[in-house]
A and B are shown apart, each in its own frame.
Chain A
Amino acid sequence: MNWVLVPQQVINGLLNGGTLALIALGIVLIFKSSEVFNFAAGHMVMLGAFLTWMFAGGEGTGEELFKLPLWAAVIAASIVAIGIGFLIERLALRPMTGQPLLAIILMTLGLSQVMEGVTTVAYGVQPKGNFPAPFSPSDAFNIPVPPVNGASIVFLDRLQIGHARLATFVVAIIAAVLFILFFQYTKTGLAMRATSENHELAQSMGIKVSRVFGWSWAIAGIVATLGGVLLATLSGVSVSLSTVALVAFPAILLGGLESFPGAIVGGLLVGLAQEIVRASTVVEVRNASDIAPYILLLIILVLRPEGLFGQRRIERI
């Protein structure tokens, strides 16, 4: 273990975890409202990043139809994502109503392949390194750390907090808070919470359940787009952005599958686990940092099978 690096990696891990938390929220939303586990979540993230890149007039699109500032490009991409969300509900999922849940979940896997195909056809397979991020990943705040006298551990002399990383974290956390406020305090949010508990009962209250599902997919689309933009800020745009899902899934399970606070804490923990393992020199396994979240997940699920924030079943006896 390279102890010197640990404090630095803790900071990086938490900051990365913010984006993971946001992406995890989108998956939890769909699971809560319709019990569908969205395996296309990673591809929605990727698609959102590509759309934003296109609206911002990223070079290499050939024609450069748009040349919007980044914020406007994000809004434009979100609007498209809303449309795609409603379309997915209407064309792919509603016809599946009444089919076994597993079939519907496999449908989302199919959707992910469609999105990947469409994206490669539309934008090509080359990664785009020219995402119009407001901060360069190399700019950083340097925080000097006074050496700890007499301590056996040699400490870093300074911590680095990347401008871009910090910005993605702040945006992710603000978005997550807005998301939770929306869910807690708006009529649509209440309709979603009600529907997530009992579809038939929601229907008997005049709630259009399929409309609620549509909204969940639309909002998940916005969240995924934002997540994609944040990831692309650090790493550029490419089809491989979709693999973020593989680390978002354990974050959700950690958090308890149905809990928003759980998704946020899970995201942060997974980010942390990844970076700390990256600092370690003991674990010389390739991709150890991608496996770490799953090991953490195993440990936590053994201790708490319902996850950290799993919803308690209300039972009156």
Chain B
Amino acid sequence: MLKVNNIEVVYSDVILVLRGVSLEVPDGQMVSLLGANGAGKSTTLKAISGLLRTQEGEVTRGSIEFDGQRIDNLTPDEIVRLGIVQVIEGRPLFQHLTVEENLRTGALFRSASSKEIAQDIERVYHFFPRLRDFRTRTSGYLSGGEQQMIVIGRALMAKPKLMLLDEPSLGLAPMLVQDIFGIIKQINEESGVSILLVEQNANIALKTAGYAYVMESGRIVLDGSSAQLSQNADIKEFYLGLTSVGERKSYRDVKHYKRRKRWIG
């Protein structure tokens, strides 16, 4: 169980980005975190995984607990060893390594036998059969969808208890997004990995995850079960792109959008 308690995050000692964020991810659950660009979603994930430090960021208030242990003062490699792995936004690969070498990097910190590693690689191929055909290819040349499969597969190689996924749908064709989210759900259900999912695509996030938080300007402004949020008028309008009468919203509404957004904040 992950508990984020009212954290504040500051970059470079002066830039206040998170102003009191609290959220929970119960064991085995899938929770999504929605919000506009710059709301602080990625920052929240980095605060959890400890990667904030590599970018001069710091948790200045509040606390983060995982399975009852404080983790906000641990280094990224210690946090990975506790079972939390982050799939960074923009699906970065070790481009010059092959697909299978990329997968292996996910398990480097574990002291697993080569037999175990081979089994874990098989498990990744079970979720992403397509990767098997590309195993010896240089990963940097694969398509965006295939790269997304590699980064999720690589995270699986860490045998995580909790996976932090940052915008897996970014720049993918709608069909592929459906596929990838299907597999994410499968990973969550079959392997019991808890998932905290950051998305711009509220539509698919609300369909896939059971519970959701909505962030704006460094704060959580709404949370609830995905079913509840899907019915919320503001969510419908601002995140699902529907007006109250269920039509696509037009550019004329942009001003209105800004006003309403501030009101929610």
Residue of A nearest to B105 (CB): A194
Taken together as a complex, chains A and B put the C-alpha atoms of A207 and B44 apart, in Å, by 21
User: Within residues 164 to 213 of chain A, which ones have a CB less than 8 A from any CB in chain B?
Assistant: 187, 190-191, 193-194, 197-208
Judging by beta carbons under 8 Å apart, are B94 and A201 in contact?
A: yes
Specify which chain B residues have a CB less than 8 angstroms from the CB of A187 in the assembled complex.
108
Residue of A nearest to B140 (CB): A314
Specify which chain B residues have a CB less than 8 angstroms from the CB of A198 in the assembled complex.
92, 94
User: A311: CB under 8 A from chain B?
Assistant: yes
Residue of B nearest to A316 (CB): B141
Taken together as a complex, chains A and B put the C-alpha atoms of A204 and B91 apart, in Å, by 12
A225 to chain B, nearest CB (A): 27
Interface size class of A (residues with CB under 8 A): 20 to 34
Taken together as a complex, chains A and B put the C-alpha atoms of A314 and B139 apart, in Å, by 10
Judging by beta carbons under 8 Å apart, are B158 and A206 in contact?
A: yes
Residue of A nearest to B49 (CB): A204
Instruction: Give the segment of B18-26, B80-88, B121-129, B189-197 that binds chain A.
Output: B80-88
Q: A202-B105, A207-B105, A207-B109 are in contact. List 6 more A-B contacts (CB 8 A).
A: A191-B108, A193-B96, A194-B97, A198-B92, A205-B158, A314-B95
User: Within residues 63 to 81 of chain A, which ones have a CB less than 8 A from any CB in chain B?
Assistant: none
Taken together as a complex, chains A and B put the C-alpha atoms of A206 and B109 apart, in Å, by 6
Specify which chain A residues have a CB less than 8 angstroms from the CB of B88 in the assembled complex.
200-201, 204
**Known interface pairs A190-B105, A197-B97, A200-B54. Does A208 touch B77 (Cβ–Cβ under 8 Å)?**
yes
B214 to chain A, nearest CB (A): 26
Taken together as a complex, chains A and B put the C-alpha atoms of A8 and B85 apart, in Å, by 59
Identify which of B51, B108, B141 contacts A207 (C-beta below 8 A). Answer: B108
Specify which chain A residues have a CB less than 8 angstroms from the CB of B223 in the assembled complex.
none
Judging by beta carbons under 8 Å apart, are A203 and B51 in contact?
A: yes
Residue of B nearest to A197 (CB): B94
Judging by beta carbons under 8 Å apart, are B81 and A193 in contact?
A: no
Identify which of B51, B77, B96, B108 contacts A311 (C-beta below 8 A). Answer: B96
Judging by beta carbons under 8 Å apart, are A204 and B104 in contact?
A: no
Taken together as a complex, chains A and B put the C-alpha atoms of A204 and B75 apart, in Å, by 10
Residues of B at under 8 Å CB distance from A?
A: 49, 51, 54-55, 76-77, 80-81, 85-86, 88, 92-97, 101, 104-106, 108-109, 138, 140-141, 154, 158
Identify which of A193, A203, A206 contacts B94 (C-beta below 8 A). Answer: A193
Taken together as a complex, chains A and B put the C-alpha atoms of A200 and B141 apart, in Å, by 21
Specify which chain A residues have a CB less than 8 angstroms from the CB of B54 in the assembled complex.
199-200, 203
Specify which chain A residues have a CB less than 8 angstroms from the CB of B55 in the assembled complex.
200
B57 to chain A, nearest CB (A): 12
Taken together as a complex, chains A and B put the C-alpha atoms of A201 and B151 apart, in Å, by 11
B72 to chain A, nearest CB (A): 16
B171 to chain A, nearest CB (A): 12
Chain B CB count within 10 A is highest, among A197, A199, A201, A204, for A204
Residue of A nearest to B96 (CB): A197
Taken together as a complex, chains A and B put the C-alpha atoms of A207 and B97 apart, in Å, by 16
Taken together as a complex, chains A and B put the C-alpha atoms of A197 and B92 apart, in Å, by 10
Can you offer 22 A-B residue contacts whose CB atoms are under 8 A?
A187-B108, A190-B97, A190-B105, A191-B105, A193-B94, A193-B96, A193-B97, A193-B101, A194-B108, A203-B51, A203-B54, A204-B86, A205-B80, A205-B85, A205-B105, A205-B109, A206-B76, A206-B77, A206-B80, A206-B85, A208-B77, A316-B140
Taken together as a complex, chains A and B put the C-alpha atoms of A201 and B77 apart, in Å, by 11
**Known interface pairs A204-B49, A206-B80, A206-B81. Does A190 touch B96 (Cβ–Cβ under 8 Å)?**
no
Taken together as a complex, chains A and B put the C-alpha atoms of A205 and B158 apart, in Å, by 8
Identify which of B76, B138, B140, B141 contacts A203 (C-beta below 8 A). Answer: B76
A14 to chain B, nearest CB (A): 30
Taken together as a complex, chains A and B put the C-alpha atoms of A200 and B50 apart, in Å, by 11
Specify which chain A residues have a CB less than 8 angstroms from the CB of B94 in the assembled complex.
193-194, 197-198, 201
Judging by beta carbons under 8 Å apart, are A203 and B96 in contact?
A: no
Taken together as a complex, chains A and B put the C-alpha atoms of A112 and B259 apart, in Å, by 63
Specify which chain A residues have a CB less than 8 angstroms from the CB of B95 in the assembled complex.
197, 314
Chain A CB count within 10 A is highest, among B49, B55, B76, B154, for B76
**Known interface pairs A193-B94, A193-B96. Does A207 touch B77 (Cβ–Cβ under 8 Å)?**
yes
Judging by beta carbons under 8 Å apart, are B51 and A205 in contact?
A: no
Nearest 10 Cβ contacts at the A-B interface: A206-B80, A206-B109, A314-B140, A314-B95, A194-B105, A203-B76, A197-B94, A206-B77, A194-B94, A201-B92
Taken together as a complex, chains A and B put the C-alpha atoms of A184 and B138 apart, in Å, by 14
A203 to chain B, nearest CB (A): 5
B6 to chain A, nearest CB (A): 25
Interface flags, A281-317, vs B, CB<8A=1, else 0 = 0000000000000000000000000000001001010
**Known interface pairs A194-B94, A197-B97, A314-B140. Does A204 touch B105 (Cβ–Cβ under 8 Å)?**
no
Taken together as a complex, chains A and B put the C-alpha atoms of A142 and B248 apart, in Å, by 89
B160 to chain A, nearest CB (A): 10
User: Within residues 198 to 232 of chain A, which ones have a CB less than 8 A from any CB in chain B?
Assistant: 198-208
Specify which chain A residues have a CB less than 8 angstroms from the CB of B51 in the assembled complex.
200, 203-204
Taken together as a complex, chains A and B put the C-alpha atoms of A191 and B96 apart, in Å, by 13
Judging by beta carbons under 8 Å apart, are A204 and B96 in contact?
A: no
A182 to chain B, nearest CB (A): 15
Residue of B nearest to A98 (CB): B56
Specify which chain B residues have a CB less than 8 angstroms from the CB of A202 in the assembled complex.
105
Specify which chain B residues have a CB less than 8 angstroms from the CB of A204 in the assembled complex.
49, 51, 76, 80, 85-86, 88
